[in-house]
Chain A
Amino acid sequence: MLSFRNCCYGDSKATSGVDKDLPESHEDALLGLKVELIKKACALAFKAHKSPKKYYLLEKKKKKNRKWFEDDHIIISFHGSWASTDWFVGKSYGDTMINQELFPSLKSIFNDEVAFVNEAFQLRFESILSNSSLKHEVKEAMTKGKQIVFTGHSSGAAVAILATLWVLEDYLINNNKSKNHKLPLCVTFGSPLIGNHIFSHATSRENWSHHFTHFVTTLDIVPRILFVPFHSIQPVLSSILQLLNPESKTSHPNSERDSLTSEFYSTVMRNTATVTSYAVSNLMDGANLILETLPGLVDLSPYKPFGTFIFCAADRPPVVVRNSDAVLQLLFYTARVSDLSEASDVSKKSILQHLRYEAELQHSFENLYDVVYLDQLEEIPLSADGSNRLTTTTALDSLELDTRARLCLRAAGERQKKKKQNEEKINKEFNEKAAASMKHLKDYKATCEIGYYDAFKVHKDERDFKANVKRLELAAVWDEIMEMLKRYELPHEFENKEEWIERGTMYRVLVEPLDVANYYRHFKDKDGGPYLDRGRRPRRYRYIQRWLEHGEKIRSEEDYSESCFWGELEELRKNANDKYGSFEDVKERVLKLETHIKAWFERGNLDKDVLLEGSTLVNWWKSLPSKHKKESSIRSLIETSQKTSMH
Chain B
Amino acid sequence: MANNEASPFESSDMLATFVASTPLLAESWRLCNHANTSPAAHRSFVAERIGRVAYVALSGVQMVGGCWYETWRNMVALDRMDDVAVFSCIREGEEPVMVHAGILNLFNSLLHSFKTQMLEILENKDTKSVVITGHSIGGATASLCTLWLLSYLRSITSCVSVLCITYGSPLLGNNSFSTAICRERWSGNFCHVVSKHDIMPRLLFAPITPLTSQLNFLLQFWQLSMTSPDFGKLAVQITDKEKAELFTAVMDYSEAATQGDEEGESQGEASATILFRPFGNYLFVSEFGAVCMDSPAAITKMMHLMLATGSPDCSIEDHLKYGDYVDKVSWQFLTQGNSSMQRSIPESSYEAGLELAIQSSGLANQESLIIPAMECLKATRRMGPSPVLNAAALAVSLSKVAPFRAQIEWYKALCDEQDEQAGYYDSFKSRSCKKSMKVNINRFKLARFWNDVIEMMEKNELPHDFDKRAKWVNASHSYKLLVEPLDIAEYYRKGLHRTNGHYMENGNRARRYEMFDRWWKDRTRRDGATEENSERSTFASLTQDSCFWAKVEEARDWLDSVRSESDTNKLALLWDKIEKFEVYANQLIEQKEVSKDVLAKNSSYSIWVGDLRELKQLREKLKVFPHQLTSILDGEVVP
Contact A337 B15 (CB under 8 A): no
Whole-angstrom CA separation of A472 from B478 in the bound complex: 15
Tell whether B185 is near chain A: CB-to-CB under 8 Å. yes
Contact status of A287 and B534, CB under 8 A, knowing A281-B15, A297-B53: no
Whole-angstrom CA separation of A400 from B53 in the bound complex: 37
**Chain A 431-488 interface residues, beta-carbon cutoff 8 Å to B:** 465, 468-469, 472-473, 475-477, 479-480, 483-484, 487
Residues of B within 8 A of A477 (CB): 399
Residues of A within 8 A of B539 (CB): 523
**Chain A 59-80 interface residues, beta-carbon cutoff 8 Å to B:** none
Could you say which of A271, A290, A382 has the most chain B C-beta atoms within 10 Å of its C-beta? A290
Tell whether A602 is near chain B: CB-to-CB under 8 Å. no
Tell whether A489 is near chain B: CB-to-CB under 8 Å. yes
Give which listed residue, B188, B403, B460, B544, contacts A472 with CB less than 8 A: B403
* Least distance between A363 CB and chain B CB atoms (Å): 23
Whole-angstrom CA separation of A340 from B129 in the bound complex: 33
**Chain B 211-236 interface residues, beta-carbon cutoff 8 Å to A:** none
Whole-angstrom CA separation of A480 from B469 in the bound complex: 13
Task: Bits for B4-38, please: 1 = Cβ < 8 Å to A, else 0.
Answer: 00011111011101110111100000000000000
Tell whether B341 is near chain A: CB-to-CB under 8 Å. yes
Contact A343 B14 (CB under 8 A): no
Tell whether A588 is near chain B: CB-to-CB under 8 Å. no
Contact B395 A529 (CB under 8 A): no
Contact A289 B9 (CB under 8 A): no
Give which listed residue, B281, B536, B541, contacts A290 with CB less than 8 A: B281
Contact A277 B21 (CB under 8 A): yes
Contact A281 B11 (CB under 8 A): yes
Tell whether B39 is near chain A: CB-to-CB under 8 Å. no
* Least distance between B380 CB and chain A CB atoms (Å): 10
Tell whether B116 is near chain A: CB-to-CB under 8 Å. no
**Chain B 140-195 interface residues, beta-carbon cutoff 8 Å to A:** 161-163, 185-189, 191
Whole-angstrom CA separation of A52 from B398 in the bound complex: 63
Q: Which residue of A lies closest to B8 (CB)?
A: A414
Residues of A within 8 A of B460 (CB): 287, 289
**Chain B 366-412 interface residues, beta-carbon cutoff 8 Å to A:** 382, 386-388, 391-392, 395-396, 398-399, 402-403, 406-407, 409-410
Residues of B within 8 A of A522 (CB): 409, 541
Residues of A within 8 A of B21 (CB): 270-271, 273-274, 277
Residues of A within 8 A of B396 (CB): 476, 480
Residues of B within 8 A of A104 (CB): none
**Chain B 322-345 interface residues, beta-carbon cutoff 8 Å to A:** 330-331, 333-339, 341, 344-345
Contact A483 B395 (CB under 8 A): yes
Residues of A within 8 A of B341 (CB): 402-403
**Stretch touching chain A among B265-273, B349-357, B498-506:** B349-357
Tell whether B526 is near chain A: CB-to-CB under 8 Å. no
Tell whether B512 is near chain A: CB-to-CB under 8 Å. no
Contact A297 B163 (CB under 8 A): yes
Whole-angstrom CA separation of A254 from B531 in the bound complex: 66
Tell whether A604 is near chain B: CB-to-CB under 8 Å. no
Residues of B within 8 A of A269 (CB): 334
Task: Bits for A311-341, please: 1 = Cβ < 8 Å to B, else 0.
Answer: 0000000000000000000000000111110
Q: Which residue of A lies closest to B332 (CB)?
A: A340
Whole-angstrom CA separation of A523 from B163 in the bound complex: 44
Whole-angstrom CA separation of A296 from B53 in the bound complex: 10
Could you say which of A270, A297, A340 has the most chain B C-beta atoms within 10 Å of its C-beta? A297
Residues of B within 8 A of A290 (CB): 15, 19, 187-188, 191, 281, 292, 294
Contact status of A336 and B388, CB under 8 A, knowing A281-B14, A285-B7, A526-B540: no
* Least distance between A324 CB and chain B CB atoms (Å): 19
Contact B23 A526 (CB under 8 A): no
Residues of A within 8 A of B162 (CB): 293
Q: Which residue of A lies closest to B535 (CB)?
A: A526
Task: Bits for A267-292, please: 1 = Cβ < 8 Å to B, else 0.
Answer: 00111011001101100111111111
How many residues on chain B are close to A (CB under 8 Å)? 82
Q: Which residue of B lies closest to A343 (CB)?
A: B334
Give which listed residue, B129, B187, B191, B532, contacts A296 with CB less than 8 A: B129
Whole-angstrom CA separation of A328 from B189 in the bound complex: 27
Contact A277 B14 (CB under 8 A): yes
Contact B347 A465 (CB under 8 A): no
Residues of A within 8 A of B105 (CB): none
* Least distance between A180 CB and chain B CB atoms (Å): 46
Give which listed residue, A289, A404, A469, contacts B187 with CB less than 8 A: A289
Contact A298 B188 (CB under 8 A): no
Give which listed residue, A284, A338, A469, contacts B14 with CB less than 8 A: A284
Whole-angstrom CA separation of A273 from B294 in the bound complex: 22
Tell whether A508 is near chain B: CB-to-CB under 8 Å. no
Whole-angstrom CA separation of A352 from B372 in the bound complex: 48
Contact status of A407 and B534, CB under 8 A, knowing A290-B281, A291-B15, A381-B347: no
Whole-angstrom CA separation of A339 from B536 in the bound complex: 72
Contact status of A297 and B18, CB under 8 A, knowing A340-B334, A386-B347, A472-B403: no
Task: Bits for B31-58, please: 1 = Cβ < 8 Å to A, else 0.
Answer: 0000000000000000000010100000
Give which listed residue, A343, A473, A524, contacts B541 with CB less than 8 A: A524
Tell whether B550 is near chain A: CB-to-CB under 8 Å. no
Q: Which residue of A lies closest to B399 (CB)?
A: A476
Residues of B within 8 A of A294 (CB): 18-19, 22, 24, 163
Whole-angstrom CA separation of A523 from B161 in the bound complex: 39
Q: Which residue of A lies closest to B333 (CB)?
A: A273
Contact status of A284 and B592, CB under 8 A, knowing A293-B188, A479-B471: no
Tell whether B464 is near chain A: CB-to-CB under 8 Å. yes
* Least distance between B48 CB and chain A CB atoms (Å): 15
Residues of A within 8 A of B333 (CB): 270, 273, 277
Contact A411 B9 (CB under 8 A): yes
* Least distance between A200 CB and chain B CB atoms (Å): 20
Contact B345 A529 (CB under 8 A): no
Contact A402 B336 (CB under 8 A): yes
Tell whether A642 is near chain B: CB-to-CB under 8 Å. no
**Chain B 112-131 interface residues, beta-carbon cutoff 8 Å to A:** 128-129, 131
Residues of B within 8 A of A408 (CB): 14
Contact B398 A403 (CB under 8 A): no
Residues of B within 8 A of A381 (CB): 347
Whole-angstrom CA separation of A276 from B61 in the bound complex: 38
Contact A288 B188 (CB under 8 A): yes
Q: Which residue of A lies closest to B356 (CB)?
A: A404
Contact status of A403 and B15, CB under 8 A, knowing A289-B294, A289-B464, A298-B22: no
* Least distance between B347 CB and chain A CB atoms (Å): 6
Contact status of A291 and B188, CB under 8 A, knowing A407-B9, A469-B402, A472-B406: yes
Tell whether A354 is near chain B: CB-to-CB under 8 Å. no
Tell whether A85 is near chain B: CB-to-CB under 8 Å. no
**Chain B 520-558 interface residues, beta-carbon cutoff 8 Å to A:** 527, 532, 534, 536-541, 544
Q: Which residue of B lies closest to A481 (CB)?
A: B392
Contact A287 B387 (CB under 8 A): yes
Contact A526 B349 (CB under 8 A): no
Residues of B within 8 A of A284 (CB): 7-11, 14, 353
The 10 closest A-B pairs by CB, nearest first: A289-B188, A296-B161, A476-B399, A284-B9, A277-B18, A273-B21, A472-B402, A284-B11, A383-B345, A402-B338
Given A286-B387, A340-B335, A383-B344, 16 more A-B residue pairs with CB atoms under 8 Å apart are A270-B21, A277-B15, A277-B18, A284-B10, A287-B386, A288-B15, A290-B19, A296-B161, A297-B129, A297-B131, A404-B356, A407-B356, A410-B9, A411-B9, A469-B406, A472-B403
15 contacts between A and B (CB under 8 A): A277-B17, A277-B21, A286-B387, A291-B18, A293-B161, A293-B188, A296-B161, A298-B23, A402-B337, A403-B356, A407-B353, A414-B8, A480-B396, A487-B388, A526-B534
Taking Cβ atoms with an 8 Å cutoff, the residues of B that contact A are 7-11, 13-15, 17-19, 21-24, 51, 53, 128-129, 131, 161-163, 185-189, 191, 281, 292, 294, 330-331, 333-339, 341, 344-347, 349, 352-353, 355-356, 382, 386-388, 391-392, 395-396, 398-399, 402-403, 406-407, 409-410, 460, 464, 470-471, 527, 532, 534, 536-541, 544, 592
